[in-house]
Amino acid sequence: MKPLPITPDRTVAAVRDQQQRFMRWPDALLQSRTEQLRTKIKSEQRHAPPPANSRFWQRWWQPTASDAMIEAHGLMAEAVRRTTGKLFYDVQLQAGWILSSGSIAEMQTGEGKTLTTGLPVFWQALAGRGCHVSTVNEYLARRDFETLQPSFDLLGLTVGHIDSKMGVAEKQQAYRCDITYGPGYEFGFDFLRDQIALRSAPRRKLGMEYLAHLRGESVEQKNALIGRRLAFAVIDEADSVLIDEATTPLILSGQETSPRVGGSQIEAYFAADRIAQQLQPEEDYRVASIDRSIELTPTGWFRIHQHFAQSPQLRLARAWSCYVDNALRARQILCRDVDYVVRNGSVEIVDQNTGRIHPDRSWRNGLHQAVQVKERVAVVAEQQTQARITRQRFISQYDAICGLTGTAQAAADELKDFYRLSVVSIPTHRPCHRIGLPSRYFSNLRSKQASIVAEIRARHAHGAPMLVGTRTIAESRSISAALHSCGVPHRTLNGVQDESEADLIALAGQPGSVTIATNMAGRGTDIGLSDASRRRGGLHVIATEHHPCSRVDRQLIGRGARQGDPGSYQFFVSAEDELFDQTPQLAESIAARCEGAPDAQHDFSSQITRLQNDLEHQAYQRRAQLNRADQWLDRVLETVAKEAV
């Protein structure tokens, strides 16, 4: 689908005119007009010629831009007004037009994305092929569903939502609706479940399905599937999903019959852990900080195999060196309260992109068991991979997509190259009054944290609300402990996905409130300011360190100064921050200039910007390599299919 020419003033005025016309209509007439539009679009769909190029998001017919789109937006705007009492801002109508044309709308935080998504969703749902609204977690999916469900009901469209706790029958019902809300990963897992069902189904003779259709008989194979064809999706936080998490695979796993590991197998994990503790760094192994990998030296190889030769009773599921490599990774690379947490006697993984805890995830090939041995918790059986797909490849299964995010322009070229998506920036409804304070630099983590705590105490004494963004759970706990010792009341969020997180983050704008949030915990929840907080300068965001991706930094500071509210932000940087692990020269320069004078004003912003650009380019190269591998696989499968025919 080609992006439409952007004519904001004309488009907004036309939608306003349509809404004014519909304001005089009763509800029944709105439903009737919706059905007429649906019939018209389906008629166009039936008579549309097949596409010349079936690659990626141009595989099938999509409703084209016309007066019908403007009319559909006017209908949805009026339905929202009647059910919520809210009128769309001009910028929301502009963003709706961009999304309906199949592009990415860069819409700043707090500008009303939930209502905005209703415009393209309604337009695409009229085609009757299903429309997915993909959010980053189950709470946001349910919240957005509940917000717009009355509007869709008024217009006569069916709408449902999915989550991980639903059974197959409930999900099937939700997927058969015109519109389905859900977390992006759950859409992916259901797709994998359907692929497994299709592979395991008995093969039908050629023409049997068509004959069954002529007889009016049901096709059991299709009825057994959870979802249906992936037609269109609106993706929230599009840059995070399409860029940051593009190479992270969705893995559908199943556990062995016994959840506990047999004694002979568990001994192999413990034996590998013992030998890993005996190996010496540099002499027996080296740690590569760039890709977080372990490389055994010839001496290390000799030592581990010598140990294995002395333990012939060990039963191995893979090479002995893999067990030792996992044990070394568990002890030398994976950190508690950074990469994982231990809760209720189990190891739970922390998502490095979002800072959220995922109890249902596990590392593969014995690494999870190596961490369990390290932490001395119960060792469970390894998960058996049943199906997997990268997010990038899964998204490519949709006929068309669009998305919203507040930080898309920095990734505009990549979105264009990989997904054929244009990025259009939407102006804010009100002028932004965000103030950026000069960054502060320190020689070590200890002095940086002491200054952060001092800054929080000073601002808290004046009643200013604060949001402290940390990269790791360990850091959030450390700052929390320091504030407890100082008697500063505060709240700490560690990435659990539920309503309580949203409730807590929503209180961050109250006078004197101090909220510590790991990475982007509570993202998607509006932080409202009281009048007293506005008089005190609005929400102040303290970033405890820079992220390797500059877009994540902007996402954090974008939590404050929304919708014309006042607000400010400041970064605190230490020479010992993880960002500088790959550039020891810059770390040494910061440490040397800040030693003994931590509060002196230095400026390393240009060097940090260059470093982030370099790291982002490296990440881009990895994603490009994965994309080339996917394209190669597509060509191979296409060749095999042709030869089979």
Backbone angles phi, psi at 73, to 5 degrees: -65, -35
The answer to whether 390 is annotated as binding is no
Secondary structure letter of residue 128 according to DSSP: S
Output the 3-class SS for 308-327: HHCCCCCCCCCCHHHHHHHH
Burial class (CB in 10 A: 0-12, 13-18, 19+), 621: exposed
The answer to whether 92 is annotated as binding is yes
Helix (H) or strand (E) holding 384, with range, is strand 383-390
The answer for residues whose C-beta is within 8 angstroms of residue 226's C-beta and 6 or more apart is 168, 171, 172, 175, 190, 193, 194
Query: SS3 for 104?
Result: strand
The answer to whether 114 is annotated as binding is yes
Residue 133: count of CB within 10 angstroms of its CB:
27
The answer to whether 113 is annotated as binding is yes
Closest to 354 measured CA to CA, from 497, 508, 513, 140: 497
**Would you list the DSSP string of 529-572?**
--HHHHHTTSEEEEESS--SSHHHHHHHHTTSS-TT-EEEEEEE
The answer to whether 171 is annotated as binding is no
Residue 482: count of CB within 10 angstroms of its CB:
17
Q: Is 294 in contact with 323 (CB distance < 8 Å)?
A: no
Query: SS3 for 451?
Result: helix
Secondary structure letter of residue 398 according to DSSP: S
Q: Is 76 in contact with 118 (CB distance < 8 Å)?
A: yes
The answer to whether 503 is annotated as binding is no
Q: Is 56 in contact with 421 (CB distance < 8 Å)?
A: no
Query: SS3 for 241?
Result: helix
The answer to whether 128 is annotated as binding is no
Q: Which residues are annotated as a binding site?
A: 92, 110-114, 526
Q: Which residues are annotated as a binding site for ATP?
A: 92, 110-114, 526
